A = this chain, B = another copy of it.
Amino acid sequence: MKLAVLKETRSGETRVAATQETVKKFISLGASVVVQSGAGEAARFADADYQSAGASISPSAADAAQGADIILKVLAPSSEELRVIGRGSKLIAILSAYKDPDSVAAYARLGVDAMAMELMPRITRAQSMDVLSSQSNLAGYKAVIDAAAYYGRALPMMMTAAGTIAPAKVFIMGAGVAGLQAIATARRLGAVVSATDVRFAAKEQVNSLGATFVTVDEEAMKEAETEGGYAKEMSQDFQSRQAEFVAGHIAKQDIVITTALIPGRPAPKLVSADMVRSMKPGSVIVDLAVEAGGNVELSRAGEAIETGGVTILGFNNVPGRLAADASSLYARNIYNFIAAFFDKDTKSLDADPEDAIIKAITLTRGGAVVHEAFAAKEEAE
């Protein structure tokens, strides 16, 4: 089994799909690994490091992909890259299939067996393969470091001979993987941290990290939870009261970090232009959902802007801003997936098509679209 690791070509993509560590592990499994020269450059992994781990280095993507059974990438290939991937090869990457359904048809047409890592099901067995979770975790950390870098004050309380500096007030909106890591990091730095989430179940996790949970009506959330979750159930009345309460809270914060995503849909708008204007000059907002349309009305993808003295950070690919660690975790996710389905006798990735994980992430196989969500769509057209 030959694995090829290609260099990412999209602008701003610093990550790489394999590391020295995973190359070694693949070779122990009995695979051979080819790495395109410079693939790890942006993450500071040198060709020589891959070589010393046992990989061979290829001068071009075409050369690396030649005869490869599996192509490893971070992001979906461009149409140019796709041309070098041979019929019958497996492609494993974050394929953003829902955002770009046309690409799925292209994989089928070219006979590429495409597996979308972002569709990994949230089941226990797949946790170690979950790229959304591994990358969100780092994004949550980096959001706080970015906020601290742009904020004109220190985050911790400082007791000095000249007097005391008050700790920063940090508010995290959305307490998923990214939000919880942001809470933990802001707490590490000594900030006073609060957080909110549409799921009342998040309260306990928020509290356990030393932050307070912000809600206008805890009883209403509690009731809704026992009746089967927030999103559908909360009344219009609750939602407008909560929005007003959150608006009042935001006006008192120094740093706001938003992390709310809804799978397959644009990110919810949580912070209006009025709320931005209500904040003190010098405050910082980080919009981690900016690539999905943004949680903040004024944020702009790929930019750090300032409006009324408030800085709004809308960096793209925040995990890629920690290229080395993001690559390490991503590469491990991929290794964990391949190792779990690797057949030691045939020395190949030959998994049961009916396995829950394989079913969830396989878009195309043998020239056909096989994923439910996209196969149905094809037929309907």
What residues make up the interface of A, taking CB atoms closer than 8 Å to B? 14, 43-44, 46, 127-130, 133-134, 137-138, 141-142, 145-146, 148-149, 152-154, 156, 158, 160-163, 165, 185, 188-190, 280-282, 309, 321-325, 328-329, 332-333, 336
Asked if A130 and B165 make an inter-chain contact with CB atoms under 8 angstroms apart, the answer reads: no
**B134 and A162 form a contact (CB under 8 A):** yes
The answer to whether B133 and A161 touch across the interface, beta carbons within 8 angstroms, is yes
Asked if residues B130 and A325 are in contact (CB atoms below 8 Å), the reply is: no
* Contact partners of A165 in chain B: CB under 8 A: 325, 328-329
Task: Find out whether the CB atom of B152 lies under 8 angstroms from the CB atom of A325.
Answer: yes
Across-interface contacts of A158 in B (CB, < 8 A): 137-138, 141, 325
**Docked-complex contact A44 and B282, CB < 8 angstroms:** yes
Q: From residue A210, how far is it (CB to closest CB) to chain B in Å?
A: 13
Q: Which 7 A-B pairs have the closest CB atoms?
A: A44-B282, A127-B161, A149-B149, A44-B281, A152-B324, A153-B325, A162-B332
CB distance from A113 to the nearest CB of B (A): 23
Q: Which residues of B contact A333 (CB under 8 A)?
A: 162
**CA gap between A129 and B130 in the complex, in Å:** 54
Contacts of A162 in B (CB 8 A): 128-130, 133-134, 329, 332-333, 336
Q: Which residues of B contact A148 (CB under 8 A)?
A: 145, 148-149
Q: Which residues of B contact A189 (CB under 8 A)?
A: 185, 188-189
Give the number of copies in the complex.
Answer: 2
Task: Looking at the assembled complex, report how far the CB atom of A141 sits from the nearest CB atom of chain B, in whole angstroms.
Answer: 5
Closest-CB distance, A150 to chain B (whole angstroms): 9
Complex formed: what's the CA distance from A381 to B163 in Å?
43
Chain B residue at smallest Cβ distance from A14: B152
In the complex, besides A130-B161, A138-B154, A165-B328, 4 extra interface pairs with C-beta distance below 8 angstroms are A141-B156, A156-B188, A158-B325, A188-B190
Give the residues in chain B near A141, CB-CB below 8 Å.
154, 156, 158
Given A188-B189, A322-B153, A309:B161 Cβ within 8 A: no
Do the beta carbons of B145 and A149 come within 8 Å of each other? yes
Q: Once the chains are docked, how many angstroms separate the CA of A328 from the CA of B282?
A: 14
Q: A49 — nearest CB in chain B belongs to which residue?
A: B281
Contacts of A321 in B (CB 8 A): 152
Least distance between A254 CB and chain B CB atoms (Å) = 10
Docked complex Cα distance between A133 and B14 (Å): 40
Interface contact B329-A128, CB-CB below 8 Å: no
Residues of B within 8 A of A282 (CB): 44, 324
What residues on B are CB-neighbors of A44 within 8 Å? 152, 280-282, 309
Nearest residue (CB) in B for A128 is: B161
- Whole-angstrom CA separation of A127 from B129 in the bound complex: 55
Interface centre among A43, A163, A282 (most CB of B within 10 A): A163
**Could you say which of A43, A141, A152, A156 has the most chain B C-beta atoms within 10 Å of its C-beta?**
A152
In the bound complex, CA of A282 to CA of B46 (Å) = 11
A-B contact pairs, 13 of them (CB 8 A): A44-B280, A133-B161, A145-B145, A149-B149, A152-B322, A156-B185, A162-B329, A162-B332, A162-B333, A163-B329, A163-B332, A188-B189, A188-B190
The answer to whether A160 touches B329, judged by C-beta atoms less than 8 angstroms apart, is yes
What's the nearest-Cβ distance from chain B to residue A334, in Å? 10
* A131–chain B nearest beta-carbon distance, Å: 8
A14, A130, A145: most-surrounded residue (chain B CB, <10 A):
A145
In whole angstroms, what is the CA distance A46 to B127 when docked? 50
Cβ A153 vs Cβ B324 within 8 A: yes
Chain B residues within an 8 Å CB radius of A133: 160-162
In the complex, which residues of chain B have a beta carbon less than 8 angstroms from the beta carbon of A324? 152-153, 282
A281: B residues at CB distance < 8 A: 44, 46
